[in-house]
Structure 1
Amino acid sequence: MNPMRALRQYQKVNSHAQISEANPHRLVQMLMEGGLDRIAQAKGALARGDIAEKGLMLGKAIDIIIGLRDGLDAGKSEDPAYVQQLESLYVYMTNRLMEANVKNDVTIMDEVLGLLVTVKSGWDAIGVAE
């Protein structure tokens, strides 16, 4: 068996195990980590001149951010206005990633990386209320 294929298979099984055991807070963290990873992979693909892979990875990052947005529920929040702002930020990030894809623009990718890192840092700081 190809060692890289074996590694990918292991990572896939490991990811599924983590997902099945994760609480909702951890699932959001994992989505954010996945979004950051996909944007970084897109940047690497662009640097290598692999435009198809860059587009694929940005598409996956966009899907993840849309998933984060779809998971928002202002009705369950103590501050619905904050949820609205976060939703607007997610929309902005998806639009910027689409623009980065069309323009092959690393600067825009870096901007979205920075925004997602900031949101993730806040989420990580919340922790899980026990």
Structure 2
Amino acid sequence: MSMQYAKQYAKISASSETESADPHRLIQMLIDGALAKLVVAKAMIERRDVAKKGENVSWAISIIGGLQASLDLQKGGEIAQTLNALYEYMTIRLAQASANNDASGLDEVIHLMKTIKEGWDGIRPQAVDMFKDNQASERSPA
């Protein structure tokens, strides 16, 4: 019974955090979610649980697709273009790794995602300031 309550609490906690998160934090949460799914998928390869491996890889691919869809390729310049290509590569690599039960392929994508996470985490102060500035300009009369 306590495991069921723990899962319910985690779901409510995540929902609450999502509702109050700024755009930068939402991307952090997606990156963290993708990493968590990839770690579980790798463990499922090692346990030879093909169904759960597939579930987790699919979920990670969906999250990466969401990250890719959030890119503004017009305003984001070279960084957005590079991330777009990297997300595309990761999606293809995950599909290949899943099809071949290739843990090293998952490791490669985990490494790439961690690199993105480090960069994204590093710009948090600037992103929060920019978000606050944007909110303030939207509220002030023109």
Instruction: Give the TM-score normalised by the residue count of structure 1.
Output: 0.94
Aligned-residue offset at 1:129: 3.7
Instruction: Please identify runs of 4+ aligned residues in structure 1 that moved more than 4 A.
Output: none
Query: RMSD over aligned Cα, in angstroms?
Result: 0.9
- Aligned residue for 1:53? 52
- Number of the residue aligned with 1:115: 112
**Alignment-derived partner of residue 8 in structure 2:** 9
Percentage identity across paired residues of the two chains: 41
Q: 2:89 aligns with which of 88, 92, 104?
A: 92
Which runs of 5 or more residues in structure 2 are unaligned? 130-142
Higher Cα radius of gyration: 2
In the alignment, the residues of structure 2 paired with residue 8 and residue 97 of structure 1 have an alpha-carbon distance, to the nearest angstrom, of: 27
What's 2:79 paired with? Answer: 82
TM-score (norm 2): 0.86
In structure 1, the residue matched to 2:67 is 68
Structure 2 CA distance for aligned equivalents of residues 101 and 81 of structure 1: 30
Equivalences, count: 127
Contact 2:24/2:128 (<8 A) preserved: no
